[in-house]
C-alpha cells in the first residue's frame, strides 16, 4: 500500500543515535520521512512529525531548547500528539483507537487478581488469589512504550511496503531499556504482515549473540566489556542497598540493647531474647551478603580491567582512577586502549604491537 499523506510506499523513522541517523536515503522519491522531538536540527527533510509528550516537556526550554513550540506550530505537515493543542495549529490526535483495534486483538490475557473472592473459587499458590474470568484481548492495553513504537504502529497500520529505521538503538540504560522490547515486538509484527524492514548494520535492534552456539567455536562464548560494565554497576548498586539494610539492622539491634538495658517494666524478656536472636542471625546474613557482593565486584573488576600482567582488581582500579583524574578535560569514557596503554606505562610493560592494532581496529 501507499502513504495516506503522500502516496509513497516507504517510510523512514528517524531517531537521534549516531552515526546511522545520517544514513537516511533522502533522495529516494518513494521514501516518506518521519521525525520526532527536535530531530529537525539534523534531518534534511520530513513529511510527518511526532511529539508524544505533554507541554511540560515540549514547552520546556530545558527539555526542548530553542523555539521548539514555534517550530511545531510552523510545521506544514501533521504533528501527531495525544491531544490537540491550540499553540500547535498542525497538531492531529494520534489515532490510538484505530491502532489498538488493528494491533491488539491477537494478544490475549486471562485471569484477574482479587482480595475478596469467595473461598470456594479461590486458587491460592503463594502469589495472591487468582480467579479465572475468561480471556480478553489487548485492544484496551496496546503495547506502545515509546514514540518510536507509536511511529512503527502507525506505519504498520497504514500498510507501508517498507519501513526504514535510522538513529534508533535504545540500548542505553535508563528509559530506553524498557522501550527497546516494544519496538522490537512491533518490528516482528511488521515482518509478520509481510512488510520489509530496513535497519542499519550497526544498529542494536534485533541484534544479540547467538545463544547456545559458543560450543561450536574454539573461543567459546564470551562476555563483552559492555556486559561486564553493566554487571559491575548492578553489583555496586546491590551492595549499596545491602549496606543500607545492614546499617538499619545495626540500628535496630542497638535500640533493642538500649531497651533491654533499661529494664523497661512489663517487657516479655523471652520475646525480647527471641527477637535478639533473630536480629543477630539477620545481621550475620546481611554481613555475609555484603562480603559476597564485594567478592563478586572484585572478580568482575578483575576481568573488566584485566591487563597482560594480570593485575589484581584494586591495583588496576587505582591506576585507572588516577588516569581518569588526569584526563578530566577529555570528553567521553576511557577506551580500553587508553586504559591499557596507561596501565602498561605505569608498570613498565612494553606494548605488543599486534595487541594494539587489534584493539584499534573497529
Domains of the chain, by residue range, sit at: 10-104+143-198, 105-138, 225-360
Neighbour count for residue 156 (Cβ, 10 Å): 20
Task: Spell out the residues 6+ positions from residue 49 whose beta carbon is closer than 8 angstroms to its own.
Answer: 34, 35, 36, 40, 72, 75, 77, 78, 79, 80, 90
Most trustworthy range by pLDDT among 116-120, 272-276, 335-339: 272-276
Give the whole-angstrom CA distance, residue 182 versus residue 146.
8
Place of cell 512504550: 145
Question: Is the Cα torsion angle 220, 224, 225, 230 positive or negative in sign?
Answer: negative
Per-residue pLDDT at 357 exceeds 60: no
| Pick from 208, 161, 209: nearest CA to 180 | 208
Per-residue pLDDT of 230-279, as tens digits, reads 888 888 899 999 999 999 999 988 888 888 777 666 677 778 888 888 99
Q: What does the block give as the cell for 29?
A: 522519491
pLDDT of residue 94: 96
Segment 52-56 mean pLDDT: 89
| Pick from 104, 122, 101, 120: nearest CA to 112 | 122
Place of cell 542497598: 241
pLDDT of residue 121: 46
Per-residue pLDDT at 283 exceeds 80: yes
Per-residue pLDDT at 308 exceeds 50: no
Q: Identify the DSSP state of 349.
A: P
pLDDT classification of 136: cutoffs 50, 70, 90 = confident
> Contact, 187 vs 33, CB < 8 A?
no
Give the whole-angstrom CA distance, residue 50 versus residue 149.
11
Per-residue pLDDT at 189 exceeds 90: yes
Q: Identify the DSSP state of 131.
A: E
Three-point CA angle 284, 288, 291, nearest 5°: 145
Three-point CA angle 68, 71, 76, nearest 5°: 145
Architecture in CATH for domain 10-104+143-198: Alpha-Beta Complex (3.90)
Per-residue pLDDT at 196 exceeds 50: yes
Segment 138-154 mean pLDDT: 91
pLDDT of residue 192: 94
pLDDT of residue 259: 80
Cis peptide before 243 (omega within 30 of 0): no
Question: What φ, ψ does residue 32 adopt, rounded to 5°?
Answer: -100, 130
Give the whole-angstrom CA distance, residue 226 versus residue 207.
14
* Structure-model confidence comparison of residues 3 and 347, the more confident one: 3
Per-residue pLDDT of 1-31, as tens digits, reads 667 777 899 999 999 988 899 999 999 999 9
Q: Identify the DSSP state of 159.
A: T
Per-residue pLDDT at 176 exceeds 90: no
Per-residue pLDDT at 331 exceeds 60: no
Give the whole-angstrom CA distance, residue 2 versus residue 72.
25
| Pick from 228, 99, 74: nearest CA to 153 | 99
* Structure-model confidence comparison of residues 254 and 80, the more confident one: 80
Q: In Å, what is the CA distance from 286 to each residue of 244, 290, 292, 342? A: 10, 6, 10, 38
pLDDT classification of 217: cutoffs 50, 70, 90 = low
- Mean pLDDT for the chain overall: 79
Amino acid at each position: 500500500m501507499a502513504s495516506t499523506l503522500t502516496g509513497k510506499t516507504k517510510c523512514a523513522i528517524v531517531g537521534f543515535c549516531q552515526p546511522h541517523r545520517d544514513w537516511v536515503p533522502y533522495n529516494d522519491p518513494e521514501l516518506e520521512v518521519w521525525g520526532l522531538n527536535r530531530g529537525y536540527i539534523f534531518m534534511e527533510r520530513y513529511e510527518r512529525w511526532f511529539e508524544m509528550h505533554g507541554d511540560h516537556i515540549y514547552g520546556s526550554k530545558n527539555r526542548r531548547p530553542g523555539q521548539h513550540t514555534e517550530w511545531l506550530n510552523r510545521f506544514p505537515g501533521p504533528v501527531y500528539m495525544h491531544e490537540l493543542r491550540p499553540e500547535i495549529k498542525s497538531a492531529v490526535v494520534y489515532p490510538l483507537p484505530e491502532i489498538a483495534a488493528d494491533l491488539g486483538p491477537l494478544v490475549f490475557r486471562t485471569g484477574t487478581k482479587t482480595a475478596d473472592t469467595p473461598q470456594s473459587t479461590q486458587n491460592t499458590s503463594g502469589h495472591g488469589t487468582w480467579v479465572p474470568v475468561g480471556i480478553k484481548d489487548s485492544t484496551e492495553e496496546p503495547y506502545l512504550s515509546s514514540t518510536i513504537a507509536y511511529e512503527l504502529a502507525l506505519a504498520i497500520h497504514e500498510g507501508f511496503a517498507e519501513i526504514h529505521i535510522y538513529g534508533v538503538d535504545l540500548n542505553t540504560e535508563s528509559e530506553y531499556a524498557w522501550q527497546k522490547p516494544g519496538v522490537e515486538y512491533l518490528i516482528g509484527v511488521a515482518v509478520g504482515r509481510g512488510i520489509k524492514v530496513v535497519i542499519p548494520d550497526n544498529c542494536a535492534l534485533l541484534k544479540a549473540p547467538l545463544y547456545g552456539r559458543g560450543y561450536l567455536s574454539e573461543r567459546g562464548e564470551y562476555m563483552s566489556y559492555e556486559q561486564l560494565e553493566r554487571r559491575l554497576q548492578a553489583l555496586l548498586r546491590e551492595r549499596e542497598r545491602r549496606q543500607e539494610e545492614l546499617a538499619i539492622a545495626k540500628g535496630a539491634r542497638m535500640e533493642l540493647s538500649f531497651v533491654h538495658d533499661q529494664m523497661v517494666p512489663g517487657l516479655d524478656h523471652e520475646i525480647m531474647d527471641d527477637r535478639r536472636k533473630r536480629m543477630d542471625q539477620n545481621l550475620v546474613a546481611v554481613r555475609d551478603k555484603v562480603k559476597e557482593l564485594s567478592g563478586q565486584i572484585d572478580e568482575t573488576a578483575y576481568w573488566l580491567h584485566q591487563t597482560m600482567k594480570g593485575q589484581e582488581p584494586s591495583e588496576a582500579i587505582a591506576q585507572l582512577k588516577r588516569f581518569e583524574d588526569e584526563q578530566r578535560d577529555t570528553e567521553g569514557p576511557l577506551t580500553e586502549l587508553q586504559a591499557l596503554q596507561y596501565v602498561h606505562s605505569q608498570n613498565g610493560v612494553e606494548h605488543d604491537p599486534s595487541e594494539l592494532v587489534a584493539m584499534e581496529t573497529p
